[in-house]
Amino acid sequence: MLKKITLIGSGNVAHNLGHAFVDKGFEIVEVYSRTTKNAKQLAEKLTANYTSDLSKLNAKSDLYVIASRDDAIEKIAEQLNLINKLIVHTSGSVGIEVLQKASINYGSFYPLQTFTKSHLADVSQIPFCIEGNTEENKHNLIELANKLSNNVIEMDSVQRQKLHLAAVFTSNFANYMQVIAQDVCEEQEVDFDLLKPLIKEVYEKNSRSKAENNQTGPAKREDEFTMQKHLDLMKNDKEKQELYSLISSMIIKRFKK
């Protein structure tokens, strides 16, 4: 049974997972961060020890969770010598093989959600994608994830990386479209809240059926008159024009009659 956990990282994911683990009765033994201040801040909230030196990481935990930037995971793993302790990362885009230098037992513990420190997510509703380099490790990680969430899936690294790509389109890119929409509204002193029922309706439709079936708009209709009007409205912003034209052309190609 995995009961004692070390968090390697102090950012959004570590913050949310740390609280979720503690809420379910797990012990956070230690928090590591490159900066002592960040490690201490999270550790105090979780009643844990802290360190900013990987070489001094404790050897008491059952599980070591790397919750850091994707491009730092391999570098961190190369500095660890956990021998036979179980180590995982929380990344959607990194394979588990980068952990093999740190320990003979390793895997992935990927929560499919966007996190912030200011708002603790309801972890029970978050999909957790699990991979282990052995059947025993996979079993232990699935058992752990089931303590946190009602939605646990076994998934290999390639599947997880493709899912992460889909998540970027669904979350990060979709959110940026709303950033642009807010800019457009603010330029004309129009209340962005007017668009919120539309945002909600799109989400609810896509929850009930495939997004492909719910595509609407001038590009779907191949309405050249309206699209040109929109481009004219953005004549002073070439970047927005290019983005609008690119997405419109892709929609036209996908749904061409």
- The average pLDDT across 67-95 equals 96
Cα–Cα separations (whole angstroms), residue 174 to 91, 93, 177, 184, 192: 20, 19, 5, 16, 16
Mean of per-residue pLDDT scores for the chain: 96
Contact predicate 28/18, CB 8 Å = yes
- Of the three residues 115, 134, 155, the one that is the final residue of a domain is 155
- Closest by alpha carbon to 113, among 16, 233, 19? 16
pLDDT band at 101 (very low <50, low <70, confident <90, very high): very high
- Where in the sequence is the domain holding 244, given as residue range(s)? 161-255
- The average pLDDT across 100-110 equals 97
- Of the three residues 155, 182, 210, the one that is the final residue of a domain is 155
- What token pair was written down for 48? 């844990």
CATH for 196: 1.10.1040.20
Query: What pLDDT score does 1 carry?
Result: 80
Residue-wise pLDDT for 121-143, tens only, equals: 999 999 999 999 999 999 999 99
Residue-wise pLDDT for 31-64, tens only, equals: 999 999 999 999 999 999 999 999 999 999 999 9
Task: Report the domain count for the chain.
Answer: 2
Extract long-range pairs of 87-92: CB within 8 Å, 24+ residues apart.
87/63, 88/63, 88/64, 88/141, 89/65, 90/13, 90/17, 90/65, 90/66, 91/164, 92/129, 92/160, 92/161, 92/163, 92/164, 92/167
What is the spatial distance between Cα 17 and Cα 120, in angstroms, rounded to a whole number? 9
Task: Mark whether 69 and 100 lie in a shared domain.
Answer: yes
Contact predicate 19/10, CB 8 Å = no
Query: What pLDDT score does 256 carry?
Result: 86
Task: Mark whether 135 and 249 lie in a shared domain.
Answer: no
Task: Mark whether 148 and 178 lie in a shared domain.
Answer: no
Task: Mark whether 86 and 212 lie in a shared domain.
Answer: no
- Closest by alpha carbon to 252, among 214, 224, 211, 210? 224
- Percent of the chain whose predicted confidence (pLDDT) is above 70: 100
Contact predicate 153/128, CB 8 Å = yes
Task: Mark whether 142 and 182 lie in a shared domain.
Answer: no
Residue-wise pLDDT for 211-229, tens only, equals: 999 999 999 999 999 999 9
Residue-wise pLDDT for 166-195, tens only, equals: 999 999 999 999 999 999 999 999 999 999
φ/ψ of 128, rounded to 5, equals: -110, 120
Task: Mark whether 132 and 180 lie in a shared domain.
Answer: no
CA 87: distance to chain centroid? Answer: 19
- The average pLDDT across 84-108 equals 97
- What token pair was written down for 82? 């956990």
> Looking at residue 189, what DSSP letter applies?
T
- The average pLDDT across 238-248 equals 97
Task: Mark whether 128 and 167 lie in a shared domain.
Answer: no
Task: Mark whether 148 and 182 lie in a shared domain.
Answer: no
- Of the three residues 102, 123, 155, the one that is the final residue of a domain is 155
Task: Mark whether 146 and 206 lie in a shared domain.
Answer: no
Task: Mark whether 125 and 240 lie in a shared domain.
Answer: no
CATH for 31: 3.40.50.720
